Structure 1
């Protein structure tokens, strides 16, 4: 398998700068061989590209758009991992938790969080296979439609 860093470069994907915290926390913390990444919003160039609740219907963020935002969230999370580890090569994704700000009738949270999970599988191959939770919530910080946090294991 090619390195994760090389795979991202081949796909034309550049990790963003680590998103600045919006409250009293740090983007990531290392404990032993694990990096715990704080919840990451889908910031692009320091701003949320869209806000609101996810669901079907007028005025809601469509699930496919929210899945694309979850992919952005996981890129931001990987930037936080790399800020601690120096490289994504040899990193294994252990756990992903996705939060979806959901319209009360929306039950497709797993499909939205697949935006992040499928990206990790594409970029990390077997090292991207992870445990996961997909949680519907009433609101997220800054009215973001999605938020993703993860735990990564660093090479020994």
Structure 2
């Protein structure tokens, strides 16, 4: 961020708030730091532990609903980063990998993952531009329609 504006300030300007970090459903952590990178675990579109979007694209889930779910995945990813190192330490978004539960013949996975990418661009501006993959799968955990994972570069000054 430049000047005195922080990413947290930008979130407030956009009227976005970070949800509580979901408890892991297995032997993993929501996010891990190595050097200047933070990797999140796959983030589901969960609110209070309940999925907001289940099913498969091309069958029983609309692209618009899945885009909103991918956006929620991004907010959940930002919450994991915030819990680990603080959101304002983010220097840039490095990579986004989106998984979309897809019915036969569904090929608009990139459109769905745009929900996450667009949110990151809104919050981080040019620092939100990232490399990305969008993959179609038969099934995702908890029957979710979308799962997204992230890699962020952070400022490690003052971190141990």
Q: Please state which band the TM-score falls in when normalised by the shorter chain.
A: over 0.9
Name 1:8's counterpart in structure 2. 11
Question: Which deviates the most, 118-127 or 42-51?
Answer: 42-51
- C-alpha contact 1:3 1:89 (8 A) present in aligned 2: no
TM-score, normalised relative to structure 2 = 0.91
Whole-Å separation in 2 of the counterparts to 1:91 and 1:81: 12
Name 1:35's counterpart in structure 2. 38
Pairing 1:6-155 to 2, within 5 Å after superposition: 6-55=9-58, 60-155=60-155
Structure 1 unaligned runs (5+)?
none
Whole-Å separation in 1 of the counterparts to 2:99 and 2:17: 24
Residues 90, 21 of structure 1: alpha-carbon distance in 2 compared, 3 angstrom cutoff = closer
Deviation, 1:149, is 0.2
Whole-Å separation in 2 of the counterparts to 1:66 and 1:50: 7
TM-score, normalised relative to structure 1 = 0.93
RMSD (Å), alpha carbons: 1.2
- C-alpha contact 1:33 1:155 (8 A) present in aligned 2: yes
Aligned length in residues: 153
